[in-house]
């Protein structure tokens, strides 16, 4: 190792907003346990593109011993551990639902999502950057935190080609959430908003949040409201 310029993140100042994650094209920063972290020295080119996007001034450039920047390592996907595909104990017929097929194969239904993977990270409303490119000219999917756990085929049913933002209308700070969602809709050319929430009364607060954010922009953005039962069925 040798001395070189590299970023240092002051966790005491970091509020986990995630703007630095979007600003770093090399993927050197990630949000972990609510704080920005340097993933690896080899991913950081030391140019400091993330500095200007930190509202808390938590990132600075320092000279320290670090492994050299490795352009070849940037963008390499993390290794994925896959289990051998089990033999199918039951015949699969045309028209079988993805959930039923997954059970036949001995798989969790949630694993049947290769056709609708996450398109970005982070996904928490309080962490995403309002200026993120994935929001531009997109159909935004605003989802209550619990929905993917109740809805086994969430990925294939809702996620395809839509940027995802998740929030909890009961536990999250409403004013902060409203400010962030309004900023997203204001800074981008979002074409529509689809809200997916649970059938429990407190969860409808997510719809009111979306309505208030759209009203604050002064734009006529189409809003679709989808309700999921505790059993995973679409009920409205």
What HEC string does the chain produce?
Answer: CEEEEEEEECCCCCCCCCHHHHHCCCCCEEEECCEEEECCHHHCCCCCCCHHHCCCCCEEEEEEEECCCCCCCCCCCCCCCCCCCCCCCCCCCCCCCHHHHHHHCCCCHHHCCCCCCCCCCCCECCCCCCCCHHHCCCEEEEEECCHHHHCCCHHHHHHCCCCEEEECCCCCCHHHHHHHHHHHHHHCCCCEEEEEEECCHHHHHHHHHHHHHHHHHCCCCCEEEEEECCCCCECC
Residues 185-204 have pLDDT tens digits of: 999 889 999 999 999 888 99
Residues 65-93 have pLDDT tens digits of: 999 988 877 655 444 333 344 343 444 34
| CATH architecture for residues 2-66 | 2-Layer Sandwich (3.30)
Q: Is the pTM of this model over 0.95?
A: no
162: pLDDT strictly greater than 80:
yes
Overall CATH class of domain 108-228 = alpha beta
Q: Which of 19-28, 45-54, 68-77, 169-178 has the lowest mean pLDDT?
A: 68-77
* Residue ranges of domains in the chain: 2-66, 108-228
At 38, the pLDDT band (50, 70, 90 cuts) reads: very high
């Amino acid at each position: 190792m040798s001395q070189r310029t590299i970023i240092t993140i002051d966790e005491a100042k970091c509020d986990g907003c995630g703007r630095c994650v979007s600003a770093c094209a090399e993927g050197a920063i990630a949000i972990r346990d609510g704080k920005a972290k340097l993933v690896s020295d080899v991913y950081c080119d030391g140019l400091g593109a993330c500095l200007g996007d930190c509202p808390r001034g938590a990132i600075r450039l320092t000279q320290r011993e670090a492994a050299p920047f490795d352009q070849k390592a940037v963008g390499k996907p993390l290794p994925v551990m896959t289990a051998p595909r089990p033999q199918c104990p039951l015949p699969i017929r045309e028209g079988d639902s993805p959930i039923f097929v997954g059970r036949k194969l001995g798989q969790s239904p949630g694993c049947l999502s290769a056709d609708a993977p996450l398109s970005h990270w982070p996904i928490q409303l309080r962490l995403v950057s309002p200026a993120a490119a994935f929001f531009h000219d997109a159909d935004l999917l605003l989802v209550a935190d619990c929905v993917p756990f109740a809805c086994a085929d969430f990925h294939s049913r809702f996620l395809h080609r839509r940027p995802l933002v998740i929030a909890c209308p009961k536990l999250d700070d409403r004013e902060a959430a409203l400010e962030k969602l309004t900023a997203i809709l204001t800074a981008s050319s979002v074409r529509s908003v689809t809200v997916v929430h649970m059938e429990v009364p407190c969860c409808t607060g997510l719809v009111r949040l979306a309505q208030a954010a759209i009203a604050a922009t002064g734009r006529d953005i189409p809003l679709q409201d989808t309700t999921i039962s505790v059993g995973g069925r679409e009920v409205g």
